[in-house]
Amino acid sequence: MPGRGFALAPRVRYLIGRARRIDVGSVFERAREASQQHGKWMPAVVVDMLWQAGFRNVGFQDYIDYDFAILTPAERATYMTHPVSNQISQKYDHPDYRHLFQDKIAFDRVFSEHLHREWMVVEDDNADAVRAFTERHGTIVTKEPVGQAGTGVHRYHAAEVEDWSAFHAGLRERGELLLEQVIQQHPDLAAVCPGTVNTTRVTAFFDGTTTHILAMAQKFGRGAVSDQMTFGGFYTMLDDDGHAVGAGYDSHGHVHEHHPDSGFRIADFQLPMMDEVRAFVDRVARVVPQVQYVGWDIVVTPEGPVLVEGNWGAGVYENKPSVTGIRTGHKPRYRAAIGF
């Protein structure tokens, strides 16, 4: 079992950094949102948000996303938050190996056997190879080597390219240096949103012997190249068997009982091949054991799970009480596995 507690210095640096970045207007905007949604007195919400941020490791957006305004202290204590997740990352994700997750090209090289799709790198003199790759697959996804929340991800169709030299030069100029074959998702995922490859976020901790799955969230897109919220996506939490625990939601106050485009009832979703998913996460978690705490983005295909990316800053996905009716979070699971 890993050592208990987190070092004080990283926490102090993190808090100082957060204090410097506080957007007072944004705090009041979030407080107003919570006040209106839950019928709470806004000044009290502001004070509570600041107290929770300063003394309880609760991010301002965590406070809103997980409905802290209506939770008791005991219920709040069960929720994972971004500041706590950051502390785990800083302690258990070795700095010398984080670049293998931050750089998408490096990631594809290290985890190539788990991608189960073709990929290539755009270079100065490989315009013909880029054309052949794109025409062979018909539609491709391009990625900038460093990006997050879906930024730097694009989709192109070979039939729409008129000048291949210009296409190649444009990729180089924009820094879209990684090309990937489009993943063919399982029909159960396509039934919800066929136009986006819908990823499953599996947050896991590898203790050197055992891989612990801490939380699972199913993300759904709206037909864009990515299912991230910046592209209109949303998510629902999954239980241990891969079944949705309720409707979908995002960080912008949108709740989706049904998918807005397909009409699929989100609470009815069941992630297929859960046994294969568990085994797959265990395998990929052992590839770089020095990075122990990772948010793995995977996609279940008809043949089984494939890897999209791993996030050493795992982030947090949690229950939203006003949507699911579940007023407890996943923090006890994190504590049991990690020992803090």
Region for residue 251 given its phi and psi (left: phi exceeds 0; alpha: psi -120 to 50; beta: otherwise) = alpha
Asked if 79 contacts 66 with a C-beta cutoff of 8 angstroms, the reply is yes
Asked if 295 contacts 208 with a C-beta cutoff of 8 angstroms, the reply is no
- CB contact set of 65 (below 8 Å; sequence gap of 6+): 251, 318, 320
Q: What is the mean pLDDT of residues 271-286?
A: 98
CA distance 79 to 75: 7
Asked if 318 contacts 215 with a C-beta cutoff of 8 angstroms, the reply is yes
Domain 95-105+185-312: which topology? D-amino Acid Aminotransferase; Chain A, domain 1 (3.30.470)
Q: What is the mean pLDDT of residues 287-294?
A: 98
Mean confidence (pLDDT) of the chain: 94
DSSP, residue by residue, 127-186: HHHHHHHHHHHSEEEEE-SS--TTTTEEEEEGGG-S-HHHHHHHHHHHT--EEEEPP---
- pLDDT number for residue 14: 57
Q: Tokens 């999954």 sit at which residue?
A: 238
- pLDDT number for residue 4: 59
> Using 50, 70 and 90 to split pLDDT, how confident is the model at 255?
very high
Domain 118-181: which topology? Dna Ligase; domain 1 (3.30.1490)
- pLDDT number for residue 71: 98
Sorted by where each begins, the domain ranges of the chain are 20-79, 95-105+185-312, 118-181
- pLDDT number for residue 29: 87
- pLDDT number for residue 287: 98
In this prediction the pTM is: 0.92
pLDDT of 306 above 50: yes
Provide the residue type at 146 as one letter: V
Q: What is the mean pLDDT of residues 94-112?
A: 98
Query: Can you read off the two tokens belonging to residue 176?
Result: 């879209």
